[in-house]
Amino acid sequence: MRPTGGPLLSAVHGDITEEAVDAIVNAANTRLARGGGVDNAIHEAAGDADLRAACAELGGCETGDAKATQGFALPARFIIHTVGPVWSGGDRGEDDLLASCYRRCLEVADQLGARSVAFPAISTGVYGFPPERAAAIAVHILRTVPTAVQAVHLVAFDAATYRLYQQLLDDAPHAPG
């Protein structure tokens, strides 16, 4: 369901590196160095040497922030790198930091003029954020934060995360607050 003025949200089960969108989001580390999971896949598909050089010029990225590079060999024109929080039990601001990742990615997408963006499940892999909680935060922020982005793909590599996104998107939008 699409809130007035908000992007159309859809769940996709697949490989984020194959998304034909203006920008894909990379779940990065603070050094913006090649890591594991989705970060590794993005570096490989974009062209590791080019992406490493571009990331080095950015000087790292703080948790909850986002920075952009070219998409290089990807179908996407841009990569928005964001650093999600490491789950530490939920009492160290993890929810707010994850929400900040989604907000900052939308802000960067707007600055780039991107109208379509694909997001992975930020922080749910090696960073250990509970998938259900992370998906709920993602959908809430993407439904409520003002943006010029018109389409958002929530890309799930695994079937369980895809089902989480589908369930949340099938629910009626919740009022902010």
Structural domains of the chain in order of their starting residue, each with its CATH number: 8-170 (3.40.220.10)
pLDDT of residue 125: 94
Q: Which amino acid is at 115?
A: R
Exposed/middle/buried for residue 146 (C-beta within 10 Å: 0-12, 13-18, 19+): exposed
Digit-coded pLDDT (tens) for 101-116:
999 999 999 999 999 9
Token representation of residue 130 = 């509970």
The pairs formed by 170-173 with CB atoms below 8 angstroms and a separation of 24 or more are 172/1, 173/1, 173/3, 173/143
Q: How large a percentage of the chain has pLDDT more than 70?
A: 94
Q: Which of 15, 22, 39, 171 is catalytic?
A: 39
pTM above 0.85, yes or no: yes
Distance from C-alpha of 176 to C-alpha of 143, rounded to nearest angstrom: 9
User: Does residue 174 have a pLDDT over 70?
Assistant: no
Digit-coded pLDDT (tens) for 115-140:
999 999 999 999 999 999 999 999 99
Q: Which amino acid is at 27?
A: A
Local confidence band at 1 (pLDDT 50, 70, 90 cut-offs): very low
- 39 given a catalytic annotation: yes
pLDDT of residue 6: 80
Q: What phi and psi values does residue 154 have, to the nearest 5 degrees?
A: -95, 105
Q: What is the DSSP letter of 78?
A: E
Measure CA of the first residue to CA of the last residue in the chain; give whole Å.
19
